[in-house]
Homo-oligomer: A and B are copies of this chain.
Amino acid sequence: MKISIIGIGLIGGSIALKLKRKGIATYIYGIDNSEQHLNEGLDLHIIDEKTTLGDGIKNSDLIIIAVPVNATKVLLPKVLDLVNDNQTVMDCGSTKSGIVNAVKDHPKRSRYIAFHPMWGTENNGPKSAVAESFSGKAGVICNKEESAEDALALAENIVQALDMHPIYMNAEDHDIHTAYISHISHITSYALANTVLEKEREEETIFQLASSGFSSTVRLAKSHPEMWVPIFKQNKENVLDVLNEHISQLRKFKSALEKENYEYLGELISNANRIREILDK
């Protein structure tokens, strides 16, 4: 199958590598605003050819959009304008409602699959791409009833080829769940980094003392604003809802400490420990 990938970065690059390894992708067209990313994509054998949006789409069975969610919202209708009923379009955005709504009345809506592979790192660019990134993770498909049967079947093959397990939900539920499980983690991590940078003026000390625990908690704070501001913008209400809850949970720790109520502090921690059973089951 010939595939166009729009956005040769961490996600687009990782998908390309995996679909080539699995033999699903016979030829990959790379489309990107960044000439550097395209050239790196060629050097790393992520793509076979760099091309324009029009030429890429014309020659492909499948078009995968892997750019920030604000760009996806603008780009997706234009891509759908160019496809015929034998072509399929998938995006990879971390928000789904805004994107799905942007094309809900598009005459080619049924050729589009709203997709979210639940994997990412704090890094970006094709050099960060790893073929096995997605293995064992969830591949969420939203509003599948709005897609044509053959387009859905093709997308399901792609999810399987990525070694992901498919999960189906509607776009609104997706955005609520990802606010809890992914978006708030980033805000927490950013705020933690800013806390430490604000309070710990001795950067050398941060570097010297930083343990694996700190590095792990603050890892997501390395993620770029170009990707994350649009996600928070598109999922504003859900993110605010969870952020308010998070601040109130932190206040419980503050209150327990201020009142020296260490029994309550222990209860808060024991409750948090339940996350182990859920994540490790």
Contact pattern, A 99-130, Cβ under 8 Å of B = 1, otherwise 0: 00000000000000000001111100000000
Q: Whole-angstrom distance between the alpha carbons of A24 and B253 in the complex?
A: 42
What separation, in Å, do the CA atoms of A120 and B216 have in the docked complex?
A: 12
With A184-B196, A224-B273, A242-B195 as known contacts, state yes or no: A212 contacts B278, CB within 8 Å: no
Residue A148 is within 8 A (CB to CB) of chain B in the complex: no
C-beta contact mask, A174-209 vs B, less than 8 Å → 1, else 0?
Answer: 000110111011111111111111111011011111
| A225 and B177 contact, Cβ closer than 8 Å, known pairs A198-B249, A244-B254, A247-B250 | no
CB distance from A267 to the nearest CB of B (A): 8
B229:A257 contact, CB within 8 angstroms:
no
Which of the candidate stretches A9-17, A26-34, A45-53, A233-241 sits at the interface with the other chain?
A233-241
Residue A246 interfacial (CB < 8 Å): yes
**A203 — nearest CB in chain B belongs to which residue?**
B278
Known: A224-B273, A225-B269. A182 touches B254 (CB 8 A): no
Interface pick from A36-44, A60-68, A151-159, A258-266: A258-266
Residue of B nearest to A228 (CB): B269
Please tell me if the beta carbons of A185 and B192 are within 8 angstroms of each other in the complex.
yes
Task: Kindly report which residue of chain B lies nearest to residue A165, judged by CB atoms.
Answer: B208
Given that A260-B236, A278-B203 are contacting pairs, would A211 and B182 also be in contact in the complex, using a CB cutoff of 8 Å?
Answer: yes
**B211–A119 contact, CB under 8 A?**
yes
Name the B residues within 8 Å of A181 (CB-CB).
Answer: 196, 200, 205-206, 209-211, 214
- A59 near B: Cβ within 8 Å? no
Docked-complex contact B240 and A258, CB < 8 angstroms: yes
Would B250 and A206 count as touching, CB distance under 8 A? no
Judging by beta carbons under 8 Å apart, are B257 and A236 in contact? yes
A195-B245, A229-B265 given; A276·B222 CB < 8 A: yes
Whether A144 is near chain B, meaning CB under 8 Å from some CB there, is no
A86 within 8 Å of B by Cβ? no
Interface contact B257-A225, CB-CB below 8 Å: no
User: How far is the CB of A44 from the nearest CB of chain B, in Å?
Assistant: 21
Nearest CB of chain B from residue A195's CB, rounded to whole Å? 4
Q: Mark A214-227, 1 if CB is under 8 A from B, else 0.
A: 11111111111100
Q: List 5 A-B contacts (CB under 8 A).
A: A120-B213, A196-B275, A203-B278, A207-B281, A240-B254
Known: A186-B213, A217-B217. 17 other contacts (CB 8 A): A177-B205, A182-B213, A182-B214, A184-B192, A187-B253, A190-B268, A193-B273, A194-B252, A195-B249, A197-B271, A213-B219, A216-B217, A222-B276, A225-B265, A225-B270, A229-B262, A243-B253
The 3 A-B pairs of least Cβ separation, nearest first, read A193-B272, A190-B272, A225-B269
